Amino acid sequence: MYISALRWNPVWTTTVLLVPFVVVLTAGFFYLYGVIVGLLSKTSVRNKVVVITDALSGLGKECAGLFHKGGARLILCGKSWEKLEELVDDLANASDPTVTFPPKLVLLDFGDMDSMPEAIAEILQCYGCLDILIFNSSMKVKAPAQTVSLEMDKLLMDNNYFGPVTLAKGVLPSMISRRSGHLLLVNSIQGKIAVPFRTAYAASKHAVQAFFDCLRAEVEEYGISVSTINHTFISRSASEASQEKTVLYTKKPLGVSPDEAATEIVKTLNNKRKEVVIAPSLPKVAIYARSFFPNVFFAVMAAGVNNPGVRSRPDE
């Protein structure tokens, strides 16, 4: 009777046969995707000089590991020499020394503008040139505008705007003379829209976004690419999965994981995409609403401030 039912129900039979095929096909697709991304990371950065600012952050370490295994000549920048050395040891232990280059280290603190000329000179002296510069560092402050001092405003602007801009201007002559190079800015989505209690932070992110958007057109004739990646925020690890209410969306996972962001950086470098937004649907809609329906956007932001159950994340 069971066999007879199968014969007389072709739809059910086809479904039973197709489900395992679809599962295997989907798993194979994701496996191939991972392999392709790994190959792209190697082919796009092998033997290239890659500078990573704030290499000690979660995303910085993820990029360092990915590019180091891909055969890049890394220049890792950070505020602590001891922690940079620890990172180099970790990279050496996780890679094959016969196909990788020992990273070079440079102390870099965007909050100390007086040290920037020396840091830029050291970066250029490491290999005499550079191919890729990833601007990864950021400083965040959450508070009502009237409670943030001007000193804090200036420190935010140094870290998020003047520091990256100074570094970009310092390496541009070298890139222009070689007529090649890629500048990639890892920026917040608040370079596109602004939410309450982020006045100075959003201002600094808007400023640096505008600088690199303008710069893109200026240096295109020299063969230099400029990319920006705007994310909601980088979570501490891929395992974080708790949820929380925000102004822009009711519930969401804690941002983009470092490995997801690093993968997006590799794809952006390889494809030379000019702009990438990593965010859920609602924040993307907010970007368009800010342009085409500003009054609606402002009303939503004000409602978020007035509703004590809706708040911004403390780390973004």
- Beta-carbon neighbour count of residue 150 at 10 Å? 8
Residue 124 one-letter amino acid? L
- What residues contact residue 73 under an 8 Å CB cut-off, 6+ apart? 47, 48, 49, 50, 101, 104, 127
Rounded CA-CA distance 89/289 in Å is 47
- Beta-carbon neighbour count of residue 190 at 10 Å? 23
Looking at the DSSP assignment, which residues form a beta bridge with residue 186? 229
Residues with catalytic roles = 201
- What residues contact residue 259 under an 8 Å CB cut-off, 6+ apart? 62, 238
CA dihedral 119→125→128→132, nearest 10 degrees, is -30
Separation in Å, CA 253 to CA 136, 265, 281? 22, 20, 13
